[in-house]
Amino acid sequence: MEVKWLLKKFEELTPHEVYAILKLRSEVFVVEQNCVYLDADDNDQQSYHLQGLDNEGKLVAYTRLVPAGVIYDIPSIGRVITSAAVRRSGIGKELMMESIKNSYQLFGKLPIKIGAQFYLKKFYEAFGFEQISGIYLEDGIEHIYMIKQAS
């Protein structure tokens, strides 16, 4: 499957794009993972939104690229998500490579911090992220902080 990547600041997103992003985030983080939490955390407005669209223009992958000073003191990648329909197809790896590349282009070659679900530790390690904290619970799910040093 070929994915088209779009990167937009919040104010550049169309209402349909915002809806698709929020829908996918709710489908996976709230319904699939059975996690009740407030997704609208007031960080979207200061972030860049990387969207992966399939051949029909449907959102199948997404991340939020957050500048330093919004969540952490260094840039971060968050809300990493792929649609259930494309999992195990390599789209998640492509999404992370695009996210890292775009983070460096937007914010410079700075370290990148993530709050990762613990079960995905090995996935993120494959991109150079290293665990920097113990396990903590966020919305009932085990997480760890990880950093990718600038390369």
- Which residue segment(s) compose the domain that 63 sits in? 4-108
Pairwise CA distance, residues 141 & 118, whole Å: 8
Number of domains into which the chain is organized: 1
148 part of a folded domain:
no
Per the rule left: phi > 0, alpha: psi between -120 and 50, beta: everything else, 83 is: beta
Question: Mean pLDDT score of the chain, rounded to an integer?
Answer: 95
Residues 13-26: what's their mean pLDDT?
97
Q: How far is CA 148 from CA 60, 116, 137, in A?
A: 25, 12, 21
CATH code, 84: 3.40.630.30
Q: Is the pLDDT of residue 27 over 90?
A: yes
46 part of a folded domain:
yes
140 part of a folded domain:
no
